[in-house]
């Protein structure tokens, strides 16, 4: 006997609720474009492009070359490659600096015998995703100052790595970093994964002279969640492409991007460039206002709008106790997660003892729900909650 849901499965009805079927609880993502919370929703225009591109076969190499050329023209850079996210772009960018277009070197990676083996990075720029660079077998050499960077560059140096969002905490500014790379003949890579908006950033860093620049497709761009962009010098982009699928004997073969995702990423870039960014901004401001005005009447709670100086540069809300702290904000976050609907907020707030809420991953109507839940939890403070 066939159950009704089996019939629905067989028909592939659009109303099929995968999350309910799987017993996976959907969440309200008030945290931001974190991969673990689903990143940014893929824009419907991108989903439609993926569906349309699914219907025909094409040579993946042809798709990569044509889309790369289109994206490079749109973003006014020499060349572009659609990658498996920013992490994939970091690996392929590094691989490109190590191998160039030499087939023997490409096949040999991550065996670096006879190749350069070091990447130099400012100590303040070390980050979790530099693992994607180290995946090529290179050693990271840490420096603090301009002079140390000059001294660290040797015949072994394959690349200079810059983390855009760490620019304010490092001692060597981006333009100076690029100039050193140029003068010493070492390629520079800037990871700007989460740094759109503003839209200008898609142009700024290639124009500044970075040889390679990385952006995530599934963050501000609203592209396929597992896609990204590697932009930059024609020879390095060609080398990066040769280090991944469809070429099987490569380090990056596991970083495959399908023709659907490559085309979806192109459409995401097109869409983003013609988007009304002011209207987006107003939507995010409105969400923050809803939250702030719901919390303001609570006498012990301070709710402050802020915009990160760099990376995820959109309106957020920071919530803290004014004085006489109630339950720790970490336990407030747990209650939001355990409640119904389940709500995720910024997992590691920039300031201890605060809760941070991102506006741009909220779907219509969700700011109101988050505001209501937060009010309920914060107004109940002191009622038997262990500190
Ligand atoms: C998010 C992020 C990444 C990883 O991006 P994916 O597109 O998920 O691979 C890499 N670097 C930085 C700085 C990031 O913020």
CATH number, residue 347: 3.90.1150.110
Domain boundary residue among 226, 257, 274? 274
- Report pLDDT digits (tens) over 76-92: 999 999 999 999 999 99
Return the number of other C-beta atoms located less than 10 Å from residue 266's C-beta.
25
Ligand 1 and 370: CB distance under 6 A? no
Atom 2 (ligand 1) nearest CA: 193
318 lies in the same domain as 189:
no
Q: Is residue 10 part of a domain?
A: no
89 lies in the same domain as 192:
yes
Residues in contact with 263: Cβ distance below 8 Å, sequence separation at least 6, in sequence order: 49, 50, 52, 53, 63, 67
Return the number of other C-beta atoms located less than 10 Å from residue 254's C-beta.
11
296 lies in the same domain as 260:
no
- Predicted local confidence at residue 326, as pLDDT: 79
How is residue 115 written in tokens? Answer: 């190749």
Ligand 1 and 225: CB distance under 6 A? no
84, 166, 194, best to mutate for ligand 1 pocket (most atoms within 8 Å of CB): 194
C-beta separation of 189 from 162 below 8 A: yes
| Residue 216 Cα: closest atom of ligand 1 | 7
Q: Is residue 125 part of a domain?
A: yes
Ligand 1 and 32: CB distance under 6 A? no
65 lies in the same domain as 207:
yes
Q: Is residue 1 part of a domain?
A: no
- Report pLDDT digits (tens) over 344-381: 999 999 999 999 999 999 999 999 999 999 999 999 76
Atom 12 (ligand 1) nearest CA: 193
Atom 5 (ligand 1) nearest CA: 86
- Predicted local confidence at residue 10, as pLDDT: 53
Separation of 118 CA from ligand 1 center, angstroms? 22
CA triple 232-234-239, angle to 5 deg: 100
Q: What is the helix (H) or strand (E) element at residue 339, kind and residue range? A: none
* Residue 71 pLDDT greater than 70, yes or no: yes
CATH number, residue 76: 3.40.640.10
Domain boundary residue among 274, 296, 326? 274
Separation of 376 CA from ligand 1 center, angstroms? 34
87, 162, 214, best to mutate for ligand 1 pocket (most atoms within 8 Å of CB): 87
Q: Is residue 8 part of a domain?
A: no
171 lies in the same domain as 118:
yes
Q: Is residue 45 part of a domain?
A: no
Q: Is residue 223 part of a domain?
A: yes
Q: Which domain holds residue 228?
A: 57-274
280 by Cβ neighbours in 10 Å (0-12 / 13-18 / 19+) ranks as middle
Report CA torsion sign: 251, 244, 193, 145. positive
- Report pLDDT digits (tens) over 219-254: 999 999 999 999 999 999 999 999 999 999 999 999
248 lies in the same domain as 306:
no
Ligand 1 and 243: CB distance under 6 A? no
* Residue 387 pLDDT greater than 60, yes or no: no
- Domain count along the chain: 2
Q: What is the helix (H) or strand (E) element at residue 237, kind and residue range? A: helix 234-242
179 lies in the same domain as 299:
no
106 lies in the same domain as 182:
yes
185-215 burial: b if 16+ Cβ within 10 Å, else e? ebbbbbbbbbbbbeeebbebbbeebbbbbbb
237 lies in the same domain as 175:
yes
103 lies in the same domain as 182:
yes
56-90 burial: b if 16+ Cβ within 10 Å, else e? eeeebeebbeebbeebbebbebebbbbbbbbbbbb
- Report pLDDT digits (tens) over 268-326: 999 999 999 999 999 999 999 999 999 999 999 999 999 999 999 999 999 999 987 77
Helix (H, G, I), strand (E, B) or coil at 118: strand
Domain boundary residue among 274, 304, 331? 274
Helix (H, G, I), strand (E, B) or coil at 7: helix
- Predicted local confidence at residue 194, as pLDDT: 97
- Report pLDDT digits (tens) over 188-219: 999 999 999 999 999 999 999 999 999 999 99
Q: Is residue 386 part of a domain?
A: no
- Rounded Cα–Cα distance for residues 289 and 255 (Å): 41
Q: Is residue 249 part of a domain?
A: yes
């Amino acid at each position: 006997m066939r159950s009704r849901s089996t019939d629905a499965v067989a028909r592939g009805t659009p109303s099929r609720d995968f999350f309910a079927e799987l017993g996976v609880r959907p969440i309200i993502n008030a945290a931001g474009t974190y991969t673990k919370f689903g990143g940014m929703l893929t824009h419907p225009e991108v989903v439609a492009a993926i569906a349309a591109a699914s219907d025909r076969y094409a040579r993946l190499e042809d798709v990569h070359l044509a889309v790369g050329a289109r994206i490079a023209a749109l973003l006014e850079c020499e060349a572009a490659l659609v990658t498996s996210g920013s992490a994939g772009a970091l690996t392929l960018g590094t691989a490109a600096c190590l191998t160039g277009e030499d087939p023997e070197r490409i096949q040999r990676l991550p065996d670096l015998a006879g190749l350069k083996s070091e990447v130099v990075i400012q100590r303040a720029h070390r980050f979790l995703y530099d693992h994607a660079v180290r995946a090529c077998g290179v050693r990271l050499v840490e420096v603090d100052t301009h002079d140390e960077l000059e001294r660290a560059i040797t015949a072994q140096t394959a690349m200079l790595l810059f983390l855009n969002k760490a620019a304010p905490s490092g001692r060597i500014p981006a333009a100076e970093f690029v100039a050193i790379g140029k003068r010493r003949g070492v390629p520079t890579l800037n990871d700007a994964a989460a740094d759109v908006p503003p839209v200008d950033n898609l142009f700024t860093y290639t124009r500044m002279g970075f040889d390679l620049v990385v952006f995530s497709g599934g963050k501000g761009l609203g592209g396929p969640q597992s896609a990204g962009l590697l932009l930059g010098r024609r020879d390095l982009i060609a080398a990066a492409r040769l280090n991944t699928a469809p070429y099987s004997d490569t380090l990056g073969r596991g970083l495959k991007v399908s023709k659907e995702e490559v085309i979806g990423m192109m459409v995401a870039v097109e869409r983003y460039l013609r988007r009304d960014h002011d209207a987006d901004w107003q939507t995010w401001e409105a969400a923050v206002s809803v939250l702030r005005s719901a919390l303001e009447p609570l006498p012990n709670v301070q709710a402050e709008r802020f915009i990160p100086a760099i990376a995820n540069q959109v309106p957020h809300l920071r919530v803290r106790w004014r004085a006489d702290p109630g339950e720790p904000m970490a336990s407030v976050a747990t209650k939001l997660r355990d409640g119904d609907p389940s709500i995720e907020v910024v997992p590691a707030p920039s300031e201890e003892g605060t809760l941070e809420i991102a506006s741009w991953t909220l779907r219509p109507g969700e700011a109101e729900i988050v505001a209501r839940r937060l009010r309920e939890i914060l107004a109940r403070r002191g009622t038997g909650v262990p500190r």
